[in-house]
Amino acid sequence: MDTQSFLDRCYDAGIRDPAAWLQSRGMGAFGWLKGAFPRGILPTDCDGEVEVRGQFLRLEFKHTHKVRLGGIPKGQLYLFNALLKTGVFTIFIAGHDERGQVECCRVMRLVDDEIVSELRDPMTTDEFHRLCGRWAESVDSSFTYQ
C-alpha cells in the first residue's frame, strides 16, 4: 500500500493524526504485561464498542479466513462468551479482505440464556453498516436507521 492510500484509509476511519495513532498502537501488543496475569493471559484489544441504552455492541475485525474457519483465539472467545452471558452484549466479528472491505460477519448474541453464533456469509461493507444500524434500532426505539 502506498503512503497516500494509507493516509486515505486513515482519514476514512476517522484517524486525523496517523502518526499519533501509530504511536498509540505501540503499547497495544501487551507483551510487556506477560506474567502480570495467571496462565499466560494477556489483555485483548477492542476494535470497537458502542453503548446504546445500556446495551453494548462489540466490534471485532479479523481477516476473512479467520472468521470463516474459526480462527478466533481461544482466550478471546472465552472473553466474548463471558460478555454475552451478561445479557447486555452483542458481538459482531467482521471478516475483511486485504483492502479492509467486509466479506462476512459472525454474529454472537444471547437468546433464551443460550449463546448463539451465526455466520453471515457473504456480506458486504454496506450490509455490515446496515447490520449495525439494525442493531441500534433494536435497542433504541427512538432511532431509525437510514
Residue 82 CA from chain centroid, whole number:
16
Chain Cα centroid distance, residue 46 = 7
In order of 9, 26, 109, 112, 119, the CA distances from 115 in angstroms are: 34, 34, 6, 8, 13
Q: What is the mean pLDDT of residues 22-48?
A: 79
Distance CA 95, CA 97 (A): 7
Region 118-129: mean pLDDT is 98
Please provide the distance, in angstroms rounded to a whole number, between the alpha carbons at the two ends of the chain: 33
Instruction: Specify which residues 70 forms β-bridges with.
Output: none
Mean pLDDT of 41-49: 88
The pLDDT tens digits of the residues spanning 64-109 come to: 999 999 989 899 999 999 999 999 999 999 999 988 899 999 999 9
The cell numbers describing 63, all together, are 481477516
Q: Is the pLDDT of residue 26 over 80?
A: no
pTM: 0.81
* The pLDDT value given to residue 24: 59
Mean pLDDT, rounded, for 3-29: 72
